Amino acid sequence: ATWSSVVYRILGWFFMNGAQQVYDSEIGNIKEADVANTVQSSDQTIQNFTGAAFVQYSIINYYGSGGDVVLFTNLSGDVAATIAALELELTDNGTLLTNSGVGDAGDNNPNIYNVSNNYLHIGPSQGTHVYRARVKMSASSINARNRKLILMEQ
């Protein structure tokens, strides 16, 4: 954009908390030429998930220019008992993204689970988006050791 004789380039949008600190996993960029903008939320602290309701495990606040985005999510951890099913899904501003769900049908033995999903979100509106990755379990719980959500603007 140009104001007076000075030319400015917008580098991106940054989300801040109440203490005026920039969140490192909550940034929106504006695509420039062929450079893909990528935002990642990752956590390796052990967290237990259990129950038949979806629970959020990763979040990215993003300001998009209206172009397509690719979302990649991954959840890995260990299960102490028989697992009936583990499901992941993605939401945008609280709305389930169509066909974004993926699952593991389960196993009869305690195991280490690693479930991933790639999703192309075509034509999100320009503006703020809150992308969430959620998990639900059936008949067991998982000690998640790695949770990741990556967004890449196309």
Which pLDDT tens digit goes with each residue over 125-135?
Answer: 888 888 999 88
Q: pLDDT digit string (tens) for 42-78?
A: 888 888 887 778 888 888 888 777 888 899 998 888 8
Q: Give the confidence band of 1 by pLDDT, cuts at 50, 70, 90.
A: very low
Cα dihedral 148, 112, 45, 88 sign: positive
Residue 95 has pLDDT above 50, yes or no: yes
pLDDT at 96 over 50: yes
* Averaged pLDDT for residues 26-48: 71
User: What would the 3-class secondary structure string for the chain be?
Assistant: CEECCEECCCCEEEEECCCCCEEEEEEEECCECCECCEEEEEECCCEEEECCCCEEEEEEEEEECCCCEEEEEEEEEECCCCECEEEEEEEECCEECCCCCEEECCECCCCEEEEEEEEEECCCCCEEEEEEEEEEEECCEEEEEEEEEEEEEC
Q: Which residues pair with 32 in a beta bridge?
A: 35
